[in-house]
Structure 1
Amino acid sequence: MKPITKYAKNKGINIAYQVVGEGKVDLIFVPGWVSNIDMMWIDSKIGDFLNQLTRFSRLILFDKRGTGLSDRVNPTCTLEERMDDILSVMHAVGSKKTVIFGHSEGGTIASLFAATYPELSISLITFGAFAKRKYSIDYPWAPKPEERKVFYDAIKKEWGNAQKIGLEWIMPSAANDKEYYNWFASYLRSSASPEAALALAVMNTESDITNILNTIKVPSLILHRKDDIDVKFEEAKYLAERISNSKLVELQGNDHCFWVGDSYSVLVEVEEFITGIRPVKKVSQLKNPTVKYLKIDIEETMLNNFQYNLTIEDFAKLCGLSLSVFKRNFSKQFSTTPFRWIKEKRLDYAKKLLLESDLNVNQICYESGFINNSHFIKSFKGKFKLSPNQFRIKHTND
């Protein structure tokens, strides 16, 4: 069962968050480039890892502004403003002090938070993090401008294509698992539109915390896989050399995403760092799978997930069925196709949000599961004979 998603506000920006577990120590996870905190729980790899964290912490998840369930980002937004979203979430959940765990770009933001608010930070953990994302003579591991341009072009032209946007760089151990690659591509699509993903990538490129690393005084754990293709191990060394009271742990593997490859080793280091006790059991002995692929109720699964940008194949997988069996059972149960059912549910949900929320049309588009605003408006008008704005005005005045 997915945790309840709530919202904190930072100067009018809505930041989606979840709280899971009742551990004595607060642990805020700052995700990388893009995320969707609801979708994380659908994948057993990510969900199981997060579940393990709740054994020894009160886990606080959030989508950074610009991604997932949070408001979209202003292109002029600063790294400091994005960092302060963490502060807003802490206030919302009543957290007075926390361990802050950042992955990839999230490690950059987490590091800045630890430097800026040491009184609120118990400790800092990073995985696959970097100090800057733009090549320089004194930081030669970061991508060069021409490399970033290729990446930007791929986002603009091929967003949602797992191969074209470089997933083989961030999770090479899953290179032969086409089904998982396709799922993760759908996760990315549900986390950001092409335009939003590009804006975040550009911001990512401009991130630079090299000048604040020596101001971080809280105990820090720097985790990095030795052969990470996306962010080089030398970048972890760079962080460790400049952050006092830090411990660098070299992990085996080449995956940039901690939940693929040997995720158990990551969990062991995190748990020992936070609790002081090194776990002796394996995750496989402890895990409580977040998705069970046996006798899954189709209607319940569809109702819980229709807002997400999932393919019909994704829904079939969630139900533990082959695509053909899923379509056949769905048609028998609902007397329509999955595509038409999903579209109707999304439009009805959009209607509800127009009447009951103060979200703007663009936000409602993404909240209800659409990824293209013009397609959403056209579909809404096709069903309700009014554009979303016209519908809201009419029923507000009634």
Structure 2
Amino acid sequence: MAEDKYCFGEYELDTARQQLRRAGRPVHVEPRALGLLCHLVEHRERVVPKGELLDEVWGDRFVSEAALTTALRTARLAVGDTGSRQQVIRTVHRRGCQFVAPVTTAGDSRPADTGEEARGEVAASHTPTGADRQTIRFCRAGDGTRIAYASVGSGPPLLKAANWLSHLDLEWTTPIWSHWLNGLARNRRLIRYDERGCGLSDQTVARSTFEDWVHDLETVVDAAGLDRFPLLGVSQGGAVAVAYAARHPERVSRLILAGAYARGRQVRAQNEVESAEAALDLDVARVGWAHQDPRFLRVFASQFLPEGTPADWDEFTDFQRRTTSPPNGVRFLEEFARIDVSETAHRVSCPTLILHSRDDERVPVSQANELAALIPDSRLILLKSRNHLLTAFEPAWDEFLEHIEAFLSE
């Protein structure tokens, strides 16, 4: 039997009476926007296609998608949401919309499960509980740099190497990373840290080289009291994880590489044209980051999330701004271009799972192929996606988690 009253945050939505209240007081909402809100909350377990919303709210009347966009904006404003925050209604590129805020129904004091929650996942825009459960600690690297690390969840450990860019606290509130944390911490104790120069770690550092990153990982392993554990490396964090696994085979039981690469763009350039392209890409990045040029930053974000929306790109950009300084961002990009673990990868002796988006626009799939050829006991799985960072609302995300769970359960 369908419920009539749904509570989320300060709001109560009575779908039978078509009424919205905030803290007990009525909120006036244009009828079309209210109808859209009601349909979304009643079908919050799935992404509702745009066509279905048009049919449900406007019936046989023909209207353009602009009318739907306007009603969606109105509905968001009514519940304190925005197109950039999307903490209540999430737009899923090319698919539709989904109501993603935690909901309780009449007579129930617990959040009503959505399809994602029933599987132990939380949609990217949910207000997370993990931020409250995690424990943040600090340790010092050999050169005195303070490194922040966090632990959340329970069960066997999974250590995630730091990558571009991180913030132990803010990651729980951004749709870019929150689903990663909830998914990876399911049935496990997830340990992760902020690399030097960003997040809660020291932002003013004398240097930030690849060797420093590997040493920082070594420092966190010791501080967290880890003995033998599986290690996850995402993007350039994959190269750091490869170097650590090669140096400490007695520590790493299994290695997982996601969107990773063995050689940075400058190193893997095979001719003058590719070298010039790599140099130009880095020069543009220096200028764009140094001046915080919004045009560049949006293009940069779209390389990580080509299937995202402009709102996704703005969220990604805003997260980066809050994570590190422009000078640090430039230094990171310069060091990424020089990464090279191609002479090290063959010394990784543990079983290794390599996951990569088939049409990754930031790191080409050829880099995944190279890692699979270099690491002896490795397997490569290509996922159907263009995104460098998988989103919560694409099929590849569920597959990603399933492959990791199966690999770690072997």
TM class by shorter-chain length? 0.5 to 0.7
Match of 2:321 in 1: 189
Structure 2: gaps spanning 5 or more residues: 1-128
Return closer, same or farther for 1:87/1:189 CA change in 2, 3 Å cut-off. same
**For 1:258, what is the secondary structure of its paired residue?**
coil
**For 1:5, what is the secondary structure of its paired residue?**
strand
Return closer, same or farther for 1:94/1:159 CA change in 2, 3 Å cut-off. farther
The question of 1:69 aligning with 2:69 is answered no
* Deviation readout 1:99-144 (Å, 9 max, x if unpaired): 1101101111011111111111111111111111134577578862
Match of 1:102 in 2: 233
5 Å-filtered alignment, 1:49-128, equals 49-72=180-203, 74=205, 76-128=207-259
d(CA) in 1 for partners of 2:168, 2:270: 32
Match of 1:151 in 2: 285
d(CA) in 2 for partners of 1:82, 1:45: 23
Match of 1:172 in 2: 306
5 Å-filtered alignment, 1:1-398, equals 1=129, 2=131, 3-11=134-142, 12-24=144-156, 26-44=157-175, 46-72=177-203, 74=205, 76-135=207-266, 144-158=278-292, 163-174=297-308, 177-259=309-391, 261=394, 262-276=396-410
* Deviation readout 1:290-319 (Å, 9 max, x if unpaired): xxxxxxxxxxxxxxxxxxxxxxxxxxxxxx
Tell me, yes or no, if the aligned pair for 1:28 and 1:99 is still in contact at 8 Å: yes
Return closer, same or farther for 1:35/1:188 CA change in 2, 3 Å cut-off. same
d(CA) in 1 for partners of 2:299, 2:137: 31
* Deviation readout 1:5-58 (Å, 9 max, x if unpaired): 21111121111111011112x111123222111111012552233222222321
* Deviation readout 1:88-108 (Å, 9 max, x if unpaired): 212222111221101101111
Tell me, yes or no, if the aligned pair for 1:154 and 1:164 is still in contact at 8 Å: no
TM-score by length of 1: 0.64
d(CA) in 1 for partners of 2:364, 2:397: 18
Amino acid of the structure 2 residue aligned with 1:92: A
Moved more, 247-256 or 162-171: 162-171
d(CA) in 2 for partners of 1:37, 1:208: 27
Return closer, same or farther for 1:201/1:44 CA change in 2, 3 Å cut-off. closer
Tell me, yes or no, if the aligned pair for 2:233 and 2:258 is still in contact at 8 Å: yes
Tell me, yes or no, if the aligned pair for 2:346 and 2:375 is still in contact at 8 Å: yes
| Richer in strand (by share) | 2
d(CA) in 2 for partners of 1:92, 1:166: 35
Tell me, yes or no, if the aligned pair for 1:126 and 1:221 is still in contact at 8 Å: yes
Tell me, yes or no, if the aligned pair for 1:49 and 1:263 is still in contact at 8 Å: no
Match of 1:345 in 2: none
d(CA) in 1 for partners of 2:267, 2:332: 21
Aligned residues, how many?
Answer: 273
Amino acid of the structure 1 residue aligned with 2:161: V
Tell me, yes or no, if the aligned pair for 1:162 and 1:181 is still in contact at 8 Å: no
Question: Once the 2 structures are TM-superposed, how far is the Cα of residue 69 of structure 1 from its aligned partner?
Answer: 1.0
d(CA) in 1 for partners of 2:154, 2:170: 22
d(CA) in 2 for partners of 1:167, 1:202: 17
d(CA) in 2 for partners of 1:23, 1:107: 23
| Richer in helix (by share) | 1
Return closer, same or farther for 1:6/1:134 CA change in 2, 3 Å cut-off. same
Return closer, same or farther for 1:189/1:249 CA change in 2, 3 Å cut-off. same
Question: Identity of counterpart residues, as a percentage?
Answer: 26
TM-score by length of 2: 0.62
Return closer, same or farther for 1:135/1:165 CA change in 2, 3 Å cut-off. same
Question: Once the 2 structures are TM-superposed, how far is the Cα of residue 259 of structure 1 from its aligned partner?
Answer: 3.5
d(CA) in 2 for partners of 1:253, 1:220: 21
Match of 1:358 in 2: none
Return closer, same or farther for 1:211/1:21 CA change in 2, 3 Å cut-off. same
* Deviation readout 1:226-249 (Å, 9 max, x if unpaired): 100110001100010010000100
Structure possessing the higher relative contact order (Cα contacts under 8 Å, 6 or more residues apart): 1
Tell me, yes or no, if the aligned pair for 2:357 and 2:383 is still in contact at 8 Å: yes
Moved more, 161-170 or 94-103: 161-170
Moved more, 221-230 or 127-136: 127-136
Tell me, yes or no, if the aligned pair for 2:239 and 2:341 is still in contact at 8 Å: yes
Question: Once the 2 structures are TM-superposed, how far is the Cα of residue 184 of structure 1 from its aligned partner?
Answer: 1.8
Return closer, same or farther for 1:272/1:159 CA change in 2, 3 Å cut-off. farther
Amino acid of the structure 2 residue aligned with 1:273: F
Amino acid of the structure 2 residue aligned with 1:16: A
d(CA) in 2 for partners of 1:92, 1:235: 32
d(CA) in 2 for partners of 1:255, 1:186: 18
**For 1:207, what is the secondary structure of its paired residue?**
coil
**For 1:69, what is the secondary structure of its paired residue?**
coil
Tell me, yes or no, if the aligned pair for 1:27 and 1:57 is still in contact at 8 Å: yes
d(CA) in 1 for partners of 2:206, 2:338: 12
* Deviation readout 1:233-280 (Å, 9 max, x if unpaired): 01100010010000100111100013454311111111111113xxxx
Tell me, yes or no, if the aligned pair for 2:259 and 2:356 is still in contact at 8 Å: yes
Tell me, yes or no, if the aligned pair for 1:101 and 1:124 is still in contact at 8 Å: yes
